[in-house]
Amino acid sequence: MTYNYFPYNFRKIDHQYFLVSNISGNFFLCKKETLDKIIHKKIDNNLEKYLLQKGFLFKEQGDFNWNNNKFKLVKRKMLPEKIGYYMIVPTLRCNINCSYCQVSRVDQSTNGYDWDDNTLDHFFKFVSKYSDKNIKIEFQGGEPTLRVDIIKKVIQWADKNKYKAEFAICTNLLNINQEFEEIIARDDVHLSTSIDGSYEIQKNQRTKSDDLAKNFFKNFEYVSNKYGLDKISALPTFYDFDQVVPTIDFYESLGLKTIYLRPVNFQGFARKKHPISKNLTEEWGKIYNKALDYIFQKNYNKKNNFMMEFSFLTNLRRIFQPGSNGHVDLRNPNFASRDNFIVDYNGVLFPSDEARMISRIGLVDLSLGNIFDGLDSEKISNYNWNQISDVNSDCIHCSYQPYCGIDTVDDLSRYNRIDLPKIKTNFCQNNLRKFDDIFSRILSNKPENILNITGHLTGIFSTIPPFSDIIYD
């Protein structure tokens, strides 16, 4: 009996090699002659053996190979059944005014943009209804530490009701008072802040004043010295792309182990101020690849204190580690109201921070209900149908579809529509480039690439490759 093929796609990676990947994300690399044999189903015994081993063939539905592929397919698409992640905005007020503020913000002294007791009460009821005892709550803003009292109440409520909770507080670190420090000291609390670069850059792009910039770095040092660098993570935003390499060095000098290289994401109010961002995809791509090379070479010359780049890590995991579905920027399906929610200052629910921004500037209302009246199930259903790449006529032909994600909100925010051919979108171009880059690095066989691929996947930086038989010829 001859074998059947699971559906597969292929893509040219360099002048010699093609990537062949199937619906479960099984893959290998081969030359054109081999690909031709497969396409025309004229495979010899060796190739048949290889394809069997790689999970490309099956005899009949329900056999071992079939079930194995089914397992991987499900693993790649499975989302949690309960809401495990809440991003909440206890206040929209902020005490600084960054030039490209991502989130909408209001001035520190404005009234009517904070949670009150009624909001808290309904939030607790909502969590009790939609979550089990494992939750993560991220406090966003505005600047959430303007309402340390709310942070405290949320944590106390989780303690009292025996949640196994983790908390992240996204703060500009300008005010560390005693009340806030009691919260920081808890093992289940993590801080996240923005560091765009050294003192001058931080001042120009964020704090706008000498004193505040000094204060920021003083507080950063205080927290990282007292509680360790594991307590705090930092995100840069690049406005000036020439600053990427110096910022990597700066992060290294601060002892930070992870950096997330991403261009300024002009959404929300920022988009009105900076209309140039639509055409930056290509320019950023070049900068990004060079920056990765720079980090990789540094790691290669090190014995310890290796640095990881977060978006490389995300794309890499999607290839090698089925089940890495926790990151809403890169997953498919990318359903709303399945495992995470944003709860805005007024109790309105959004599927993502980006959705909150474009709703606030009035482009489209992507709210999916609120914590007082409940979920808008019709809207959620409509939204979710556009968050599946398996039914997108472009994506289904792409070799990277099993690894890639889908983000209609990003398309909407950039192009005011969701039906552009995917290849014309920033999301698609950006990820095509990243996946191409990863497979080129795999093919390159350079030790600095292998060290970094292995290091990102396992946390163990070693020149032992994470694969042995993925290149057929």
Partner 1 sequence: MIKITINANYSFQRKKSFASKIVSKDDYIPHDENNVYVNFDESNNKLFLVSKYGSIEIIDDDIKFELNEVLLFYNNINQLRRFFRPSANSNAILLTEQCDQRCIMCSQPPKDKRYDDFPLFKNALKLCPNKSIITISGGEPTLFMDELLDFLIFAKKERPDITFHILSNGQHFKKEDMKNLKEVSSNVLWGIPLYSHLPNEHDDIVSKDGAYDKLFHSFSLLLEAGSRIELRTVLMKQNIKSLLKLSDLIINKLPWIEIWAMMQLEYIGYAKMNWKKIFFDNSENFEFLENSIIHALSNKINLNLYNFPLCTVPQKFRKIARPSISDWKKKFIKECENCEKKSVCAGFFEWHKNEIGYKNIGRKFL
Tell me which residues touch partner 1 (CB under 8 A). 26, 53-55, 62-64, 67-68, 71-72, 75, 320-324, 453-454, 457-458, 460, 462, 464-469
Cis peptide before 347 (omega within 30 of 0): no
Please give the distance of CA 364 from its chain centroid, rounded to a whole number: 23
**Distance (Å) of CA 73 to CA 77, 82, 149, 332, 426:** 7, 21, 45, 11, 26
Shortest reach from residue 262's CB to partner 1, in Å: 25
Measured from the CB of residue 73, what is the shortest distance to partner 1 in angstroms? 12
- The count of C-alpha atoms lying within 13 angstroms of the C-alpha of 236, restricted to the half-sphere facing its C-beta, is 30
CB 11 within 8 A of CB 395: no
Residue nearer to partner 1 on the CB measure, 269 or 320: 320
Minimal distance in Å, beta carbon 464 to partner 1? 4
**Hey, what long-range contacts does 442-449 have (CB within 8 A, 24 or more apart)?**
442/29, 442/467, 442/470, 443/13, 443/14, 443/17, 443/29, 443/471, 447/300, 448/296, 448/297, 448/299, 448/300, 449/296
Write the secondary structure of 114-148 as one string of H (helix), E (strand) and C (coil): ECCHHHHHHHHHHHHHHCCCEEEEEECCCCHHHHH
Q: Which is nearer to partner 1, 68 or 215 (CB)?
A: 68
DSSP classification of residue 22: E
Q: Which is nearer to partner 1, 26 or 334 (CB)?
A: 26
Mind giving me the DSSP string for 298-336? HHHT-SS---EEHHHHHHHHHHHSTT----TTS-SS--T
Task: Identify which of residues 6 and 383 has a Cβ nearer to partner 1 in the complex.
Answer: 6
Which residue, 54 or 231, has its beta carbon nearer to partner 1? 54
DSSP string, 75-122: HHH---SS--EEEE-SB-EES---TT-SS--EETT-SS-B--HHHHHH
Instruction: Write down the least CB distance from residue 284 to partner 1, Å.
Output: 28
- Nearest approach, Cβ of 473 to partner 1 (angstroms)? 17
Q: Which is nearer to partner 1, 382 or 462 (CB)?
A: 462
Q: How many CB atoms lie within 10 A of CB 312?
A: 23
CB of 326 to partner 1, least distance (A): 13
Phi, psi of 195 (to 5 degrees): -125, 110
Contact predicate 360/267, CB 8 Å: no
Closest by CA to 315, choosing from 388, 404, 442, 397, is 404
**For partner 1, the closer CB: 259 or 319:** 319
- Minimum Å distance from CB 461 to partner 1? 9
Q: Which is nearer to partner 1, 66 or 294 (CB)?
A: 66
Query: 36 vs 60, which CB is nearer to partner 1?
Result: 60
| Closest CB 228 distance from partner 1, rounded Å | 18
Question: Do 368 and 376 touch, CB atoms closer than 8 A?
Answer: yes
Peptide bond into 322 cis (omega under 30): no
Nearer to partner 1, 63 or 211 (CB): 63
Q: How far apart are CA 406 and CA 382, in angstroms?
A: 15
Smallest gap, in angstroms, from Cβ of residue 423 to partner 1?
A: 30
Q: What is the nearest approach in angstroms of partner 1 to the Cβ of residue 454?
A: 6
Rg of the chain (C-alpha set): 24
Is 452 in contact with 298 (CB distance < 8 Å)?
Answer: no
Least spacing, CB of residue 67 vs partner 1, in Å: 5
The nearer residue to partner 1, 34 or 324, going by C-beta atoms, is 324
